[in-house]
Amino acid sequence: MLILVTYDVQTSTTGGAKRLRHVAKKCGEYGIRVQNSVFECVVDATQYKQLQLALEKIIDPEKDSLRFYNLGNKYNSKVIHIGAKETLDVEAPLIF
Amino acid sequence: MLILVTYDVQTSTTGGAKRLRHVAKKCGEYGIRVQNSVFECVVDATQYKQLQLALEKIIDPEKDSLRFYNLGNKYNSKVIHIGAKETLDVEAPLIF
């Protein structure tokens, strides 16, 4: 299933920049970055739970915001991109 | 249906800050801001198309990125929020 992860990390506070880097790094382990603080992760239910728990440990819940959106398994028709930085279709066959 | 709008606008270029304001303003006419560059819009198909066209006119497609995610009509169970700035459930009855 496709999980969209969006986040706002308050970098004006101490440790904020570090939390931001760690959130992006952790999301990168599960999916691809499509915008500055937006990742698309194709994961199963177990991986989704792992990602949630891992990110919860990184953020400061008083200052930072994490949002997860579950677009299910049939998601191609649900996503529209306009403008710069088109992303690679994570599941399309790589043709060389 | 719930449409998630995420965007990256390049503010380092001329007119970028203005485009950013206008994108946010336009999204605000259709939904609520849940993170810095993330809006949740409960719209019908016509409004969705209007929003897309309006935002396409505002951005610079060479520099800015717009993404739309369609979460359909039964979306409550598809969205998880962790951390700061919980948003109002846009369709929940306001109880005074």
Reported ipTM: 0.87
Supply the DSSP symbol for A86: P
DSSP category for residue B5: E
DSSP conformation letters of B20-48: HHHHHHHHHTTSEEEETTEEEEE--HHHH
B37 and A CB contact within 8 Å: yes
Among candidates A4, A66, A82 on the partner chain, residue whose Cβ is nearest the Cβ of B82: A66
Q: Cβ of A61 and B82 within 8 Å?
A: yes
Q: pLDDT digits over B27-79, tens only? A: 999 999 999 999 999 999 999 999 999 999 999 999 999 999 999 999 999 99
pLDDT < 70 positions in chain A? 86-96
- Mean pLDDT of the region B71-88: 87
User: Which residues make Cβ contacts (< 8 Å) with residue B61, sequence separation at least 6?
Assistant: A82, A83, A84
- Assign residue A85 a region: left if phi > 0, alpha if psi is -120 to 50, beta otherwise? left
| DSSP string computed for A14-68 | TTHHHHHHHHHHHHHTTSEEEETTEEEEE--HHHHHHHHHHHHHHS-TTT-EEEE
Q: What is this structure's pTM?
A: 0.89
